[in-house]
């Protein structure tokens, strides 16, 4: 190595840094390339949801880099307006299955349809308007409660905000906050409990009044009281909507029209609570385990309560 004068050394250093920056940006680009992109077809029409019927036809999906598919050849058909529970062991693929409905990911094989339309053939904006989603860990941005509920609109009608909150079972606690709907919720809603955040997120989804709603129940941080309250309002807010509710506590979806049981990315059982318990399969086993846990928490005595 020749000894470089300071100016040249600086130049080499800059080039070196540029090279490594370029290399890492190439890596990023190739990562993005290998990762799936959600594209909208040119001239894609809007989706106009009518009945809200949902169909999965031979759908498989693997996360990039994963050895096994998260969803493995799932076919199902759900009538518009149905209330559908989705249950199964942790990591079974429940959330992933529903994320394919509004194209958070696209399947590697098979087709997802809403009212007979392939979801990948319509505009993303119309699809996302048609399918409301409440995630396990909903994001609240710094702003007031009302702004968080109505973030889809610049100048929201307060009455519509309150209606959505009421339907989501949030109105009662919002009224106890210092400034009601004008209370600042802080970054990530730090001053609210997990259950309260979920209810605000549900209110946000209901504010848009989507014909199809996907609810991903949080595994933790929803206490029993909140769970019971969510259960109570689930039916009320379902109305004519098609609702998919991922549930960790089976009692949340005990009354569902249909319960889909997912295990290892496959749809292993499909039916109402009574039928599934009678079948004696995965659902019956999960149900017995949860009843056992509740009974044990009660000290093993007393009447058996639903989990």
Query: Which lies closer to ligand ATP via its Cβ, residue 19 or residue 35?
Result: 35
Residue owning tokens 């429940």: 94
**Min dist. Cβ of residue 61 to ligand ATP (A):** 9
**Min dist. Cβ of residue 64 to ligand ATP (A):** 8
**Min dist. Cβ of residue 252 to ligand ATP (A):** 13
**Min dist. Cβ of residue 287 to ligand ATP (A):** 16
Query: Which lies closer to ligand ATP via its Cβ, residue 63 or residue 139?
Result: 63
**Min dist. Cβ of residue 134 to ligand ATP (A):** 13
Query: Which lies closer to ligand ATP via its Cβ, residue 229 or residue 263?
Result: 263
Binding interface with ligand ATP (CB under 6 A): 63, 66, 70, 88, 90-96, 219
Cα 256 from Cα 73, distance rounded (Å): 24
Query: Which lies closer to ligand ATP via its Cβ, residue 94 or residue 241?
Result: 94
Cα 228 from Cα 306, distance rounded (Å): 11
**Min dist. Cβ of residue 177 to ligand ATP (A):** 30
DSSP 119: G
Query: Which lies closer to ligand ATP via its Cβ, residue 249 or residue 258?
Result: 249
DSSP 22: H
Query: Which lies closer to ligand ATP via its Cβ, residue 93 or residue 189?
Result: 93
**Min dist. Cβ of residue 257 to ligand ATP (A):** 21
The count of C-alpha atoms lying within 13 angstroms of the C-alpha of 246, restricted to the half-sphere facing its C-beta, is: 23
Query: Which lies closer to ligand ATP via its Cβ, residue 49 or residue 218?
Result: 218
User: C-alpha angle 205/307/211, rounded to 5°?
Assistant: 20
Query: Which lies closer to ligand ATP via its Cβ, residue 176 or residue 220?
Result: 220
Q: Which residue pairs, CB below 8 angstroms and at least 24 apart, start in 257-261?
A: 257/82, 257/83, 257/84, 258/78, 258/82, 258/83, 258/84, 258/85, 259/84, 259/85, 259/86, 259/87, 259/283, 260/76, 260/84, 260/85, 260/86, 260/87, 261/87, 261/88, 261/286
Contact 170, 200 (CB under 8 A): yes
Residues contacting 110, CB < 8 A, separation 6+: 56, 57, 58, 59, 60, 73, 74, 75
**Min dist. Cβ of residue 54 to ligand ATP (A):** 17
Cα 19 from Cα 35, distance rounded (Å): 24
Q: Cα torsion at 5, 7, 9, 15 (round to 10°)?
A: -150
């Amino acid at each position: 190595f020749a000894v470089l004068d300071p100016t040249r050394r600086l130049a080499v250093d800059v080039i070196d840094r540029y090279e490594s920056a370029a290399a890492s940006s190439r890596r990023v680009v190739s990562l993005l390339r290998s990762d799936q992109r959600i594209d909208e077809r040119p001239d894609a029409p809007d989706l106009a949801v009518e009945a809200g019927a949902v169909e999965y036809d031979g759908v498989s999906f693997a996360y990039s880099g994963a050895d096994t598919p998260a969803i493995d050849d799932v076919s199902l058909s759900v009538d518009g307006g149905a209330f559908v529970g989705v249950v199964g062991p942790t990591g079974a693929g429940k959330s992933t299955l529903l994320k394919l409905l509004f194209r958070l990911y696209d399947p590697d094989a098979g087709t997802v349809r809403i009212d007979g339309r392939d979801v990948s053939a319509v505009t993303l904006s119309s699809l996302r308007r048609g399918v409301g989603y409440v995630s396990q860990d909903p994001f609240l941005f710094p702003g007031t409660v009302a702004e968080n509920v109505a973030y889809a609109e610049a100048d929201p009608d307060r009455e519509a905000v309150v209606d959505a909150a009421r339907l989501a079972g949030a109105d009662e606690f919002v009224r106890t906050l210092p400034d009601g709907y004008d209370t600042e919720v802080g970054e990530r809603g730090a001053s609210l409990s997990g259950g309260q955040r979920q209810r605000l997120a549900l209110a946000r989804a209901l504010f848009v009044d989507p014909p199809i709603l996907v609810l991903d129940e949080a595994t933790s941080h929803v206490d029993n009281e909140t769970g019971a309250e969510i259960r109570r309002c689930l039916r009320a807010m379902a109305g004519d909507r098609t609702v998919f509710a991922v549930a960790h506590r089976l009692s949340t979806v005990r009354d569902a029209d249909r319960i889909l049981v997912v295990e290892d990315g496959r749809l292993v059982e499909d039916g109402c609570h009574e039928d599934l318990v009678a079948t004696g399969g995965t659902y019956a086993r999960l149900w017995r385990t949860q009843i056992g846990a509740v009974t044990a928490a009660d000290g093993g005595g007393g009447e058996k309560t639903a989990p």
